[in-house]
Amino acid sequence: MTGDANFDLWYLFALAGAVLIGAVLPVLPTGAAVSAGAVLASHSSPIGLVGVLIAGAAGAYIGDLIVYAGCRFGGERLAKRIGWLRDNEKLDQLRDRLSEHEIGVLLTSRLIPGGRVPVLLAAGLAGYRWERFAVVDLAASSLWAAVYMAIGLLGYALFPEPWQGVVAAIALVLLVTVVSSLIQRRRQKRAPASDTE
């Protein structure tokens, strides 16, 4: 972000596009992209943080709507073909959790690495109401973008050079992802053990 309005606008469009693609095909580190965008905006144009928040949230929101619509209208067959659905043994458990604590599950699913797609699948395949999903997911996408933007701001606060802040933000996002995955795996291993007792 150099202060040139055209560059800033194109950067934000690219960020929104990258997050959207990563939301539909979860292969891109979209949280790291938002964190890096926050670092760059902080160093050159702090008002650009609002744009980073909006671009990140918009890309995540539109991507979630696409995944939800695909599951809702394409069913399990489309979900398996695209690769969203690999194993549906826990899908019923997610449907139950979603029906009991719908808002909490939808809000937190975006913050838990690997948690978003299974919850979107459960919501879409179970026929969760479109209007309600759209409202709750708008809040979830905004919260997600704000959290990853905060991680980027931490990198900005700790390091004087933009590239150092970007590297720190990406490293922090990766660390959070790895720790969350390890915690989830540990819980999953404990669950079968407690079921057999």
Compute the average pLDDT of residues 134-140.
91
With a pLDDT cut of 90, the percent of the chain lying above it is 17
Report the pLDDT averaged over residues 141-170: 80
More confident residue, 139 or 171: 139
Q: Where are the alpha helices (DSSP H) in 25-129?
A: 30-44, 48-82, 91-100, 102-109, 116-126
Q: How confident is the model at residue 112 (pLDDT cuts 50, 70, 90)?
A: confident
Q: What mean pLDDT is predicted for residues 93-104?
A: 71
How high is the pLDDT of residue 180?
63
Region 173-196: mean pLDDT is 62
Contact assessment for residue 62 and residue 26, using Cβ atoms and an 8 Å cutoff: no
pLDDT at 3: 46
In 3D space, the residue among 59, 76, 79, 73 whose CA is nearest the CA of residue 141 turns out to be 59
User: Looking at residues 94-119, what average pLDDT do you find?
Assistant: 75
Higher local confidence (pLDDT), 194 or 134: 134
Band (5; pLDDT cuts 50, 70, 90): very low
What's the helix, strand, coil split of the chain in %, to 5? 85, 0, 15
Q: Are 165 and 159 in contact (CB under 8 A)?
A: yes
- Coil/strand/helix, residue 44: helix
pLDDT for position 68? 87
Check pLDDT > 80 for residue 114.
Answer: no
Whether 53 has a pLDDT exceeding 90, the answer reads yes
The rounded distance, in Å, linking the Cα atoms of 111 and 75 is 25
Handedness of CA 159, 164, 165, 170 (dihedral sign): negative
The pLDDT score that the predictor gives to residue 185 is 66
